[in-house]
Amino acid sequence: MKLSKKLALLLLIILLLFSVTSLEAEEGDRVKVTGQAQIEGGDLAQAREMAKSDAFRNAVEEAMGVLVDAQTRTRNYELLEDSIYTQARGYVAEYEVLDISTAQGQIQIELEALVKEEDLAEDIDALELTIHRAGDPRIMVVVPDDSPWYKESGPAAETEIISKLVDNGFRLVDQEQIKEVRDSEVVRRALDGDEEAYQQLAAEHNKDLLVLGEGFSELVEERSGFYSYRARLEARVVKLDTAEIITAQGVQKTEVDISRDNAVQKSLAAAGAEMAEYLLEVIPEAITDTERSLQVTVSGIAFEELQELEEFLKNIHLVDGVYQRDFVDGTARLDIDGSLLPMQMAREITEGSELPLEVSGVSGNKIELKIE
């Protein structure tokens, strides 16, 4: 029995050595990594493949370290796991086995891998992992407050939120457009949670996310010529296409100044700054959520072509389900459940389908297609 195991291990080493590929032909990032796997039922060949896959994944993760910062990797781990790590072998151009060993029912492989860094970088970029690329959401911020210069220069909390979001790469509605709707009846209804108001704002301003809230200030104390004011700020983030509330949060900040107006302004601005920090955490998580439903509209399509498209969509990697909603006069609507971002899905459709499809629009979680 012992001889049989030794012979199997020897054959395994020979197979691995014959799988060595020269590391001189391709360009990329060379990394040394190890991979491990359990030996189940004495099946060394299967364990070897699993250990190699683990090593390839580790190689890609190490190469990715120079392309994506740790915070982004942590925040988008599930997305990376679905879209990058599962196809790690495809990023390894060549590899060389350096060592192989077994111990305590495990096999360990050490190898040097040549990772196609350019391909990896392109795919990471295509995943749109950075905030401004993750669906590239267009955001509308409407947060009226009771600051004394509200009508002239805009609400202090709203201004602070917008400033920080812009600094972090988000696309926001121009302030002039906000002035036109800030005190409108539709915004008031939206503040009351009216879903139709959300849809009206989406239709009128063609935006993906709405940051909607209100700020209030109150005198805490007046002493020795100083004014202490406490600001209370409440806000929610709404996906305008579905009226889904992503998050709701409230913050309070207190500031002191010799001027009453300045104390109010400072407290509201401080509350806006704290709210912005919170939004910078939750919005990226929401727009890179690995579970999402995409709404696809296809125009100019025949019924037979629609059946073909449905079958194609069902076979796309990371698609969990495809549901036809309606088909009227050559236009069909479908919902696609899965973990692909809208731009990823659009690319999968146009590059993989045999139908002559053209993407005419991508907005939020909606994709518009037409038959050329």
Q: Give residue-wise pLDDT tens across range 22-37.
A: 444 455 678 899 999 9
Phi, psi of 300 (to 5 degrees): 70, 25
Give the count of beta carbons closer than 10 Å to the beta carbon of residue 302.
13
- Distance between CA 63 and CA 57 in Å, rounded? 10
| Amino acid letter for position 176 | E
Take residue 250 and report the two structure tokens written for it: 């409230």
CATH architecture of 2-126: 2-Layer Sandwich (3.30)
pLDDT of residue 3: 47
Sign of CA dihedral 247, 252, 253, 259: positive
Q: Distance between CA atoms of 242 and 314, rounded to whole angstroms?
A: 23
pLDDT in tens, 49-99: 888 889 988 888 888 776 665 555 555 555 566 567 777 888 888 888 999
In this structure, CATH architecture of domain 138-287: 3-Layer(aba) Sandwich (3.40)
Distance CA 20, CA 9 (A): 17
CB atoms within 10 A of CB 175: 14
Residue 218: the pLDDT is 93
Would you state the pLDDT for residue 19? 47
- Per the confidence metrics, is the pTM higher than 0.75? no
pLDDT beneath 70: ranges in the chain: 1-28, 66-83, 124-136, 148-153, 169, 285-291, 364
Tokens coding 157: 């909390």
Could you say which architecture CATH assigns to the domain 292-371?
2-Layer Sandwich (3.30)
**pLDDT (0 to 100) of residue 200:** 83
Structure tokens at 52: 């190699």
**Could you write out the DSSP letters of every residue in 77-101?**
HHHHHHHTGGGGGGGEEEEEEEEEE
The residue ranges of every structural domain in the chain are 2-126, 138-287, 292-371
Give the C-alpha distances (Å, rounded to integers) separating 93 from 45, 84, 100. 22, 15, 20
